[in-house]
Structure 1
Amino acid sequence: MSRIIGTFEESGEKMADKFLVIDGSSLIHRAFFALPPLTTKQGVNTGAVYGFCNMLAKLLGDVKPKWLAVAFDKSRKTFRTELFADYKGQRKPTPSELSEQFPLARRLLEAMNITVLETDGYEADDIIGTFAVHAPKEAEIIIVTGDKDELQLLDERVKVYFTKRGISDIKTYDVAAFAEDYEGLKPKQLIDLKGLMGDSSDNIPGVPGVGPKTALKLIGEYGSVENVLENIDQISGKSLKEKLADNKEAALLSKKLATIFTEVPVELELDKYELKAMSDAARPLMQELEFRNLHERFQTILGGSDGTFDLFGESVSVEAVSVATEVLETAEQGEAFFASLRQNQAVIPFMATCGGELPQLHFTAVEIFFDEKIHELREGSGAWNLFYEWLADAGQLKATCDSKEIYKTCLCLGKKAAGIVEDISIAAYLIEPGRSSYNLKAVTERYLVANSGGNVADLQTLLPIIEQKLQEYELVKLYQEMELPLSEVLAKMELAGIKPDVKLLQSITTEMAVQIKALEILAEEQAGESFNLKSPKQLGVLLFEKLGLPVIKKTKTGYSTDVSVLEQLEGEHPLIKTILEHRKLTKLHSTYLEGLRPLINPVTGRIHTHFQQTVTATGRLSSTDPNLQNIPVRTEIGKRIREIFIPGEGYDWLMACDYSQVELRVLAHMAQDKLLLESFLHGQDVHARTAAEVFGVPLAEVDSMMRTRAKAVNFGIVYGISDFGLAKQLDISRGEAADYIKSYFARYTGVKQYMDDTVKHARQQGYVATMFGRRRYLPDIRHSNFNLRSFAERTAINTPIQGTAADIIKIAMLNVEQALAEAGGKSRILLQVHDELVLEVVEAERELVSGLVKKAMEAAAVLSVPLTADVAWGKNWAQTK
């Protein structure tokens, strides 16, 4: 009987049970470098073990194996080092933060009754290879590894899950997938490839000068290293012949080193590897390592001696949650159901699907989890009004996964939402701000073993896990007092939108189109020929071949003509400046002029941007459709675009209230630098004061050039700028920029100390935090790659400052919203753009709103220096700048 990977052919026979064989050394290594460092309160490093366990739990849930083994390398000394002393000799010593975690991993696996295998003289690959070849035929072998060497083991019953990057990005290999990646070769021929091209990661020499393409071609033609060496005379290319002839022994040795040994003396009886319930030792060990939520996950898969897990110091049943669905069609069904809800004191999870156009949004379906059932309300059911009554009851505590949309839909309907005390998306974002998605499906896949599609039952299961994480990371206050209430404020702002002057929009659109066409004509004159400015290929040929400009960077498809390259060439030819101006205008034209028209809501006549609360790693809000935060501030064209936005019907003014140098004030507070504190406490021009200090002149003698350069240094320091970056920004030599930075640190010693301490702290615990406890994890802070590590260090310096400023503006938004509500007027917040709030105000409330907004913003945080906010008014947004 022939075999298909993963199944038998249709013959009525039972599909084979799965034997999961995991390369523990490889996966723990991947987890260490992929995830932020994690330590217990006692300082024990546990991040790699935690990442490995999370992946193991997901694998067990997805694969559902009958048997499991985890193989480890026992030492670097193996039979391969006896054959070739330099085998893996180039590798750096394992970081102590990682090496100390391998014993922890073994202890934990043993406590979970998972078989651990390691053998003197052999690598984990060899143990895994022995199972792949000799395990009883009733087992389908699935190998999980981050090492491509194990692809040579693929056959009809062996599959490899290869972790491409980190520990979650997995590619599944079978024989067909291998052939696709390796140009038709068979898995066994991987060792022949390595024989010729070597393997730098293992320090396998191969044949010097023979790379992957040549090796693939030779093995594809001759089948093996031995046949290649026997047919050297038939191979074209004198140089290649010489390389092969001179390195025969190296090629044969390399093939031997790359060959996985499949006769390791290990127990092959399947009973030894069958999954069992965890031992009594698992729970206290996980508690010691502070992995409490993992116990729940593995308990569900593996079971245990008492059928319970300990989450908050109490035993909680791990019985599976029933997800039967009961549709509430009639008012009578609804009355009974919502009456039972009102008697319940727990937080009730619910999800709602929203549809329709602003301001006519409506709920199309609602799911509520209660009494081990998902109760579904469909639009138009008799229970619908009872749902609105329950939703408006602040005494009924609720959990959901997108509170902003709930609030916005209720506002459209003239209804009220209250008592929402949990939003799983916001909570997951605070816990891990670097992830790409926080919808319920993504959060479910992150924290639960199995994913049922991201429904309200998953939300119920997630709540205790997420709550425990918020407590563990000290994020509860930030979550409950800032982010959760902010979602309601953002819903009101999105619903309000902002009014565009449609006639002016059309006028400026036409005006800019004329400017763009003029630049295209000018570019052709400067180039001496016609060409497509939007074609990187044509542009590259023109600049670097016809005009002979110096090549800065190449890509796979040709010359790079990105902005960074063009900026370096700006003084080389007049055409460069024209191209840069053309790019800037075409982007603004497509995004903020042509791009705005389809975003004008036909019902309201306003533009309703979406404020994203869970996107940036620093905590800043971002806006989309359109992104109003990226309109240039200090350019003439940016001003023209802002003129488009005006007060809507029933309002008289736009008012902007903007923090003054908030990030530098935060830096002064955090660094407690004497000079910086003095500047703000005495109301000095902080950039002029910095210029006086850096250039060594009296404050009164600081000129505009000095101030401009000092300003670049001040803001550059906030972002951890390098001398190279400052030199590029100011168009000065790198040496001069280095002198500025050196002079700055010599005078502002508190800032230098803050930066050094912050980077040191980040290295120790793997993250940095804002004044309000918002965390950002920095997985590359200890990376061996200089560029990656340097970027992480700059991020460590900047994030507490920028993140604190982001937190302050969020608190200000809450303060302003509350002050406006208490005043009982009509004026309202429309936009938040970086450090600025934009409001729509009626004439009668102008003085009142000006005072209360300024007061609310300046009271958002208590710093060692005053927070100041400046108010400006206009009949359009441009006039407020």
Structure 2
Amino acid sequence: MADKFLVIDGSSLIHRAFFALPPLMNKNGVHTGAVYGLCNMLLKLLGDLQPRYMAVAFDKSRKTFRTELYADYKGQRKPTPSELSEQFPLAMQVLGALGIHTLELDNYEADDIIGTFAVHAPENVEVVIVTGDRDELQLVDKRTKVYYTKRGISDIQIFDEAEFAANYEGLVPKQLIELKGLMGDTSDNIPGVPGVGPKTALKLIKEYGTVANVLENIDKVSGKSLKAKLAEHKESALLSQKLATIYTDAPVDCNVELYELAPIQEEARTLLQDLEFRNMYDRFAAVLGGEQHSFDLFGETVEQEAAPEIHVTEAGQVEKLFAALNAAKAPVPVVATVAGTLPELYFSKVELLVDETVYILDNFSNCWEQFYTWMASDATKQTVDSKEVFKVCLCHGCEPKGIVDDVALAAYVADPGHSSYALADLQKRHLPSSAAHASEAVAQLVPVLREQLNAREQVKLYEELELPLAPVLARMEYAGITPDMELLQQLNEDMTFRISKLEALAEEQAGESFNLKSPKQLGVVLFEHLQLPVVKKTKTGYSTDAKVLEALQGKHPLIDTILEHRKLAKLQSTYLDGLKPLVNVKTGRIHTHFQQTVTVTGRLSSTDPNLQNIPTRTEEGKQIRRIFVPGPGYDCLMSCDYSQVELRILACIAQDELLLESFRHGQDVHARTAAEVFGVPLDEVTGQMRSRAKAVNFGIVYGISDFGLANQLQVSRKEAAGYIESYFARYTGVKKYMEDIVAKAREQGYVSTLMGRRRYLPDIRHSNFNLRSFAERTAINTPIQGTAADIMKKAMIDVNAALQAAKVKSRILLQVHDELVLEVVNEEKELVAQLVEKAMESAVTMEIPLLADVNFGSNWAETK
């Protein structure tokens, strides 16, 4: 069998890959999607074809000998998106690291390099061209095939002489040039003969063979109009034929031995790992030769050889397990399956890896008491989801010690952008092959993730913030909070009455009966019966979403009624109807789940219920907070709330003298901002001025636009722009911070909090304005919001430690936004207030002090 020379049209395939695949970016902000797609296609081609020689050709620039012939050649093409253009040199770097030769030539296209190889390669070598460009079909002959990518990069049509003839009604490949001479090519802006399409061109070339013969026999061509077109555009046809002809004598060395494939070198591993192409090195090693691990040809992971396992059921096995645990010097991976409900959670299965043996405890094991005792010992342990492990142990009267690693938390700190940190997903993302046992996976993940954390200077964030926070959250979830069920029922009935009144009012305002909860009926009422302007339509009819209704405010009284109805209905379903099923039948309390690995900013979120979404400034929100009360054995609730923490952080990060001065002197920062923005003395600031300045202060933190501020304040866009302009004219440090942080994000692809938490911003250099603008606003806000989240987490750890050291009964129950809620007994009120306030205010040291406000109440609402 003849040796194969695989010649790739790199420019064409990277374009195809870029538009076929979703955008990818590595942690350094480098776009990698097109290169990733190219690599995957190369792997398949190398595996299928097993070529001996290989080269990849690229276009060097748009200026070639063809543009000298015809200045508008390819002139209609849009500029290459920056997200794609930056990947061409990266692709060449990757190919070079793989030992695959790349070529580009001044004045020539990739087609010409490929054509030269096709014509001048030795006769005993089979040439296989891979391209997304039909122009190269003209190169097909007895020993040259073209693998044409029809759609994307995976749907390939293989052209040999027979396949070409079947697709072009018996023509030979060289006649593709003649076809294009007549019909042109819109993709390359080759003019051809205006009015001659593919069918007419095919008919003419089948009959006359070449463009020259067609032009010599115009008189014989049927059709008066066609004759006229051919006669008028002779020069265009001949020029188009030249433009479509691939040049096959480009100045490249056609000695195929120069392009022989060699085993992949180890240095390629680092490059592919930096690009975060999981498993890619080993996949190439499988087809190119070189040191490899455990992958099949197309990257599917292969199960490792499993460690021996022991199901611990007999006395001898129990003895062996705990002897091994007690003798273990390295941390022991522990993976647990949790079952049951509070306060009776239990482990239905636990897997431990000790001395390369996997021990399994399950419902048939009789050593659970010994296991909990070991969990409470100082023996070091590694796990996944340590919060759940800790919570189960609390249910069995023990507090785990020695958990030195939680792979879910480590992975989250290293990269907070994923939707899942389940063990199976972590294996797929970080391990070269699938571990046979979960405990083995944890053992393998720890060094990989710690290496990432170390490289990103995030070990301290992981070890001193996220890891110690998990048991604090476990205690909070275990404690839960007591609802006043009578008040809950009463509020629900009141809300039902208010909602029914709004429904009656809506029917009165509309002049007809309709279902307020039906978008279809509502659309008919608003846009057909009341003739309000249509804002947006969907496939199913009129849109009546929140943005549409907000745009219609002021045009009819019904709009305000609908918005109020929706607000109350949502509160009722979420918090009044929604709370009752969440009350634990055994504890009588609601045990909220705090999610530690969900938000990209580092903030905690909560579910069942979502406490973050209870309105903070409305009367309805206050009424819902009244439901939460101290439980039996406790006398009151206590709230400790940070005061303007994000603005204080902004002042320090931006080093803005006006903001710093306001906080140093204990001024009302919003009033001071109003004085600066409106140019009046501090004692002449009105309530409206302060309110607008407050909106500007908080809006600036979130990168608000004049449009957004205008909507919020219900003023003109010009007036809002004036407020922002005045703000930046006075608060120059803030303006400089915003400019600098966006520039830094654009350079490195991420931003960081003061404690080193990163948020990666893949769209910061995107060509799409909206995506890029959102990333820029995120770059401005994340260091502020993320630092506030880090401070709160540190405060929670310190508050919990202070309460434990003081051996008080009072305890933390909830964390919401910048607030901690505690359950307190009367005799400890003064001490707990001092401990919590001190811990929160000293959580971090900043240039201006943190302030925390402490309040007590008989329910949560009274603490505000």
TM class by shorter chain equals 0.7 to 0.9
For residue 458 of structure 2, what is the aligned residue in structure 1? 475
Contact 2:303–2:434 (CA<8 Å) still a contact in 1?
Answer: no
Alpha carbons of structure 1 residues 629 and 769: separation in structure 2 relative to 1, 3 Å: same
Task: Select between 76-85 and 765-774 the one with higher mean Cα deviation.
Answer: 76-85
Alpha carbons of structure 1 residues 85 and 58: separation in structure 2 relative to 1, 3 Å: closer
- 2:60 pairs with 1:75: yes
Task: Select between 426-435 and 452-461 the one with higher mean Cα deviation.
Answer: 452-461
What CA deviation, in whole Å up to 9, does each residue of 1:147-174 have, x standing for no partner?
A: 9999xxxxxx9897977xxxxxxx9758
Alpha carbons of structure 1 residues 31 and 670: separation in structure 2 relative to 1, 3 Å: farther
TM-superposed CA distance for 1:503, in Å, is 1.6
Distance 1:758 1:28 in 2: 32
Alpha carbons of structure 1 residues 500 and 735: separation in structure 2 relative to 1, 3 Å: same
For residue 25 of structure 1, what is the aligned residue in structure 2? 14
For residue 561 of structure 1, what is the aligned residue in structure 2? 544
Alpha carbons of structure 1 residues 71 and 371: separation in structure 2 relative to 1, 3 Å: farther
For residue 755 of structure 2, what is the aligned residue in structure 1? 772
Alpha carbons of structure 1 residues 326 and 834: separation in structure 2 relative to 1, 3 Å: same
The code of the aligned residue for 1:91 comes to: K
Distance 2:428 2:434 in 1: 6
Alpha carbons of structure 1 residues 280 and 706: separation in structure 2 relative to 1, 3 Å: closer
Distance 2:419 2:356 in 1: 31
Question: Which of the numbers 331, 336, 340 marks the counterpart of 2:315?
Answer: 331
Contact 1:723–1:738 (CA<8 Å) still a contact in 2?
Answer: yes
For residue 215 of structure 1, what is the aligned residue in structure 2? none
For residue 336 of structure 2, what is the aligned residue in structure 1? 352
For residue 833 of structure 2, what is the aligned residue in structure 1? 850
Greater C-alpha radius of gyration: 2
The code of the aligned residue for 1:819 comes to: A
Contact 1:32–1:48 (CA<8 Å) still a contact in 2?
Answer: no
Alpha carbons of structure 1 residues 564 and 203: separation in structure 2 relative to 1, 3 Å: farther
Distance 1:630 1:737 in 2: 28
Question: Which of the numbers 460, 468, 478 marks the counterpart of 1:495?
Answer: 478
The code of the aligned residue for 1:398 comes to: K
For residue 509 of structure 1, what is the aligned residue in structure 2? 492
SS at match of 2:504: helix
What CA deviation, in whole Å up to 9, does each residue of 1:221-245 have, x standing for no partner?
A: x999979xxxxxxxxxxxxxx9xx9
For residue 458 of structure 1, what is the aligned residue in structure 2? 441
Distance 1:260 1:874 in 2: 85
For residue 164 of structure 2, what is the aligned residue in structure 1? none
Contact 1:612–1:624 (CA<8 Å) still a contact in 2?
Answer: yes
SS at match of 1:603: coil
What CA deviation, in whole Å up to 9, does each residue of 1:347-405 have, x standing for no partner?
A: 332311111111111111122234445433222314544433433332x3222221111
* RMSD after superposition: 5.1
Alpha carbons of structure 1 residues 434 and 31: separation in structure 2 relative to 1, 3 Å: farther
Distance 1:498 1:148 in 2: 68
SS at match of 1:549: coil
Distance 1:717 1:372 in 2: 55
Distance 1:875 1:271 in 2: 86
Question: Which of the numbers 99, 111, 122 marks the counterpart of 2:97?
Answer: 111
Contact 2:7–2:57 (CA<8 Å) still a contact in 1?
Answer: no
Contact 2:483–2:628 (CA<8 Å) still a contact in 1?
Answer: yes
Question: Which of the numbers 572, 576, 591 marks the counterpart of 2:574?
Answer: 591
Report 1:57-206 matches (<5 A): 67=50, 71=56, 73-77=58-62, 85-87=72-74, 89-92=76-79, 95=82, 102-114=88-100
Contact 1:28–1:48 (CA<8 Å) still a contact in 2?
Answer: no
Question: Which of the numbers 492, 511, 515 marks the counterpart of 1:532?
Answer: 515
Contact 1:727–1:736 (CA<8 Å) still a contact in 2?
Answer: yes
SS at match of 1:34: coil
For residue 782 of structure 1, what is the aligned residue in structure 2? 765
Alpha carbons of structure 1 residues 380 and 302: separation in structure 2 relative to 1, 3 Å: same
What CA deviation, in whole Å up to 9, does each residue of 1:707-755 have, x standing for no partner?
A: 1111111111111111111110010111111111111111111111111
Question: Which of the numbers 381, 384, 399 marks the counterpart of 2:365?
Answer: 381
For residue 296 of structure 2, what is the aligned residue in structure 1? none
Alpha carbons of structure 1 residues 862 and 281: separation in structure 2 relative to 1, 3 Å: closer
Distance 1:332 1:87 in 2: 79
The code of the aligned residue for 1:397 comes to: T
Distance 1:274 1:443 in 2: 38
TM-superposed CA distance for 1:86, in Å, is 4.6
For residue 684 of structure 2, what is the aligned residue in structure 1? 701
TM-superposed CA distance for 1:698, in Å, is 1.1
- 2:635 pairs with 1:652: yes
TM-superposed CA distance for 1:557, in Å, is 3.0
Question: Which of the numbers 518, 521, 525 marks the counterpart of 2:501?
Answer: 518
For residue 10 of structure 1, what is the aligned residue in structure 2? none
Task: Select between 348-357 and 439-448 the one with higher mean Cα deviation.
Answer: 439-448
SS at match of 1:783: coil
TM-superposed CA distance for 1:541, in Å, is 2.4
Contact 2:112–2:248 (CA<8 Å) still a contact in 1?
Answer: no
Unaligned runs of 5+ in 2: 1-5, 119-125, 137-145, 158-166, 169-175, 204-224, 294-300
Distance 2:591 2:41 in 1: 40
Task: Select between 364-373 and 839-848 the one with higher mean Cα deviation.
Answer: 364-373
Distance 1:142 1:383 in 2: 66
For residue 214 of structure 1, what is the aligned residue in structure 2? none
TM-superposed CA distance for 1:443, in Å, is 2.0
SS at match of 2:352: strand
The code of the aligned residue for 2:833 comes to: S
Distance 2:247 2:432 in 1: 33
Q: Percent of aligned pairs with the same residue?
A: 53
TM-superposed CA distance for 1:291, in Å, is 3.5
Could you state the TM-score of these two structures normalised by the residue count of structure 1? 0.77
TM-superposed CA distance for 1:681, in Å, is 0.8
- 2:261 pairs with 1:278: no
SS at match of 1:830: strand
Question: Which of the numbers 717, 720, 741 marks the counterpart of 1:758?
Answer: 741
For residue 428 of structure 1, what is the aligned residue in structure 2? 411
For residue 783 of structure 2, what is the aligned residue in structure 1? 800
Distance 1:148 1:806 in 2: 55
SS at match of 1:436: coil
Contact 1:160–1:173 (CA<8 Å) still a contact in 2?
Answer: yes
For residue 390 of structure 1, what is the aligned residue in structure 2? 374
TM-superposed CA distance for 1:597, in Å, is 1.3
Contact 1:126–1:260 (CA<8 Å) still a contact in 2?
Answer: no
The code of the aligned residue for 1:92 comes to: P
Alpha carbons of structure 1 residues 425 and 454: separation in structure 2 relative to 1, 3 Å: farther
Contact 2:9–2:111 (CA<8 Å) still a contact in 1?
Answer: no
SS at match of 1:550: coil
SS at match of 1:618: coil
Report 1:834-849 matches (<5 A): 834-849=817-832
For residue 143 of structure 2, what is the aligned residue in structure 1? none
Contact 2:642–2:819 (CA<8 Å) still a contact in 1?
Answer: yes
SS at match of 2:790: helix
Alpha carbons of structure 1 residues 863 and 360: separation in structure 2 relative to 1, 3 Å: same
Distance 2:584 2:46 in 1: 48
Contact 1:279–1:305 (CA<8 Å) still a contact in 2?
Answer: no
For residue 448 of structure 1, what is the aligned residue in structure 2? 431
Task: Select between 332-341 and 483-492 the one with higher mean Cα deviation.
Answer: 332-341
Alpha carbons of structure 1 residues 258 and 668: separation in structure 2 relative to 1, 3 Å: farther
The code of the aligned residue for 2:351 comes to: E
For residue 208 of structure 2, what is the aligned residue in structure 1? none
The code of the aligned residue for 2:485 comes to: V
Alpha carbons of structure 1 residues 641 and 460: separation in structure 2 relative to 1, 3 Å: same
What CA deviation, in whole Å up to 9, does each residue of 1:761-814 have, x standing for no partner?
A: 111111111111111111111222222221111111111111111111111000
Distance 1:148 1:333 in 2: 68
The code of the aligned residue for 1:656 comes to: S
Distance 1:437 1:71 in 2: 38
Distance 1:624 1:754 in 2: 35
Distance 2:475 2:185 in 1: 59
